[in-house]
Chain A
Amino acid sequence: MKVYYDREDKNYEVKAKNVKDMLKELKINKNSVIVVVNGTIVTEEYILKTKDKIKILSVVSGG
């Protein structure tokens, strides 16, 4: 599955089945991001589906 991470402006390929494992696989701290699937925020329990459009947005913004 393809995942876009805005902080690095990069797409990644992941094997994980849910959001929690996806963040672990990408070594991203769950407190530093929100995960948006098909335009909606999901929690770490969300089970990923093949056609999902997944974005990981960093919560570190502004300054």
Chain B
Amino acid sequence: MCNNCKTKPVYKLNSGEQLCKNCFFKYFEKKVRKTIRVHKLIEKKDEIAVAVSGGKDSLTVLDLLSNIYKENKNIKIKALMIDEGIDGYRDECITPTKEFCKERNISLEIVSYKKEFGFNLDQVVEGRKPCSVCGVLRRNLLNTYAKKLKVKKLATGHNLDDEAQTIIMNQFRKNIEASARLGPMNGIEDHEGFVRRIKPLYFMSEKEIMTYAFLKSLTRNFKECPYNKESYRNQVREMLNNFEELYPGTKYSIVSSFMEILPALQKQEKKGKIKSCIKCQEPSSQDVCQKCTVLDQLKFSQ
């Protein structure tokens, strides 16, 4: 039974405490609000674009932010969707996302790989790691279109599981520079080339978000990206879930201990090395940005 109101429970916390639907909603929303407040993710007069995929995480962010700031005229929430061209997956998310935004009166911009780059992801993944190609291109389009929408921040659905996985992956691959760019708010402050990214679900687990999205009927599309199962991330995810089962709180410990060393990592990262890509003029740490490098590789190998 729910520890607070003795009704049917829907969720059991690591502490053993059980929560009914309403108490779970209160717990969830309070924790997200606290993340926004403590880490100053959203401030007065911010315009926010939520990067939506149509999945549970991004729709939860969009629903929460549009509710929290409904009465606040100083904060505007928009939605930005990238259509990578993944048959049987992304195409099925587009119509429900359009309806979701229409019901809530949220403007939605949809940008496709086909229109921007001239191909669908499905056409270029053979013999490649799909997530590596897709991640670079998607990040580029999100930043480019967030600038076009003139928003100050880009909110994503990244959660506790994503972050714990990324921290471990960066450790395993000795990629500390990439870890310095993690955290509930990343990006470079006041750099005209980058829109800062915020993660309101930073401390929420994937299971908590799934429970919330299901109970709120935010989506019935809980499909996994077909390329996900092949990924390195998926192996790390399984490893961490096994640890979490044996030692509850493992993921939170990874992320919270990482937060303590993050300021030192950020300090260590060399500053002032942002250049403009010689091909597209977008900001880059190299002469040619990652997007142009990926596009060149695809062009030459076809």
Residues of A near any B CB (own CB < 8 A)? 6-7, 29-34, 36, 40-45, 57-63
- CB pair A43–B11 under 8 Å, yes or no, is yes
- Write the chain A residue with the least CB distance to B53: A62
A1 to chain B, nearest CB (A): 20
A57 to chain B, nearest CB (A): 6
A40 contacts across to B, CB distance below 8 A: 8, 10
Cβ of B27 < 8 Å from any Cβ of A? no
* Bound form: Cα–Cα A6–B223 in Å: 9
Q: Which of B54-62, B170-178, B280-288, B291-299 contacts A (4 or more CB under 8 A)?
A: B54-62
B211 contacts across to A, CB distance below 8 A: 34, 41
Please give the number of chain B residues whose Cβ is less than 8 angstroms from any Cβ of chain A in the complex.
Answer: 36
A31 contacts across to B, CB distance below 8 A: 205-207, 241, 244-245
- CB pair B223–A29 under 8 Å, yes or no, is no
- CB pair B214–A36 under 8 Å, yes or no, is yes
B57 contacts across to A, CB distance below 8 A: 61-62
- CB pair B157–A60 under 8 Å, yes or no, is no
- Of the A-B pairs whose beta carbons lie under 8 Å apart in the complex, a sample of 30, sorted by A's number, is A31-B205, A31-B244, A32-B206, A32-B237, A32-B238, A32-B241, A40-B8, A40-B10, A41-B10, A43-B9, A43-B18, A45-B9, A45-B12, A45-B18, A59-B206, A59-B210, A60-B206, A60-B224, A60-B228, A61-B55, A61-B224, A62-B55, A62-B57, A62-B58, A62-B157, A62-B225, A63-B53, A63-B131, A63-B227, A63-B228
Over the window 222-248 of chain B, the binary record of Cβ atoms lying under 8 Å from chain A Cβ atoms (1 yes, 0 no) is 111101100000100110011011000
B222's partner among A6, A42, A44 (CB-CB below 8 A) is: A6
- CB pair B214–A62 under 8 Å, yes or no, is no
- CB pair B227–A61 under 8 Å, yes or no, is no
- CB pair A63–B224 under 8 Å, yes or no, is yes
* Bound form: Cα–Cα A43–B157 in Å: 25
From 190 to 216 in chain B, residues with beta carbon under 8 angstroms from any chain A beta carbon are: 205-207, 209-211, 214-215
A59 to chain B, nearest CB (A): 4
- CB pair B55–A63 under 8 Å, yes or no, is yes
- Write the chain A residue with the least CB distance to B243: A31
From 220 to 279 in chain B, residues with beta carbon under 8 angstroms from any chain A beta carbon are: 221-225, 227-228, 234, 237-238, 241-242, 244-245
B224 contacts across to A, CB distance below 8 A: 7, 58, 60-63
A62 contacts across to B, CB distance below 8 A: 53-58, 157, 224-225
* Bound form: Cα–Cα A42–B214 in Å: 12
- CB pair A41–B11 under 8 Å, yes or no, is yes
* Bound form: Cα–Cα A42–B292 in Å: 48
B210 contacts across to A, CB distance below 8 A: 34, 57, 59, 61
* Bound form: Cα–Cα A32–B222 in Å: 13
- Write the chain B residue with the least CB distance to A63: B225
| 8 shortest interchain CB distances as A-B pairs | A62-B55, A63-B225, A59-B210, A61-B222, A41-B10, A29-B241, A59-B206, A31-B241
* Bound form: Cα–Cα A36–B217 in Å: 13
B237 contacts across to A, CB distance below 8 A: 32, 60
- Of A40, A41, A42, A43, the most chain B CB neighbours within 10 A belong to A41
- CB pair B207–A59 under 8 Å, yes or no, is yes
B9 to chain A, nearest CB (A): 5
* Bound form: Cα–Cα A34–B205 in Å: 12
* Bound form: Cα–Cα A47–B75 in Å: 46
A30 contacts across to B, CB distance below 8 A: 245
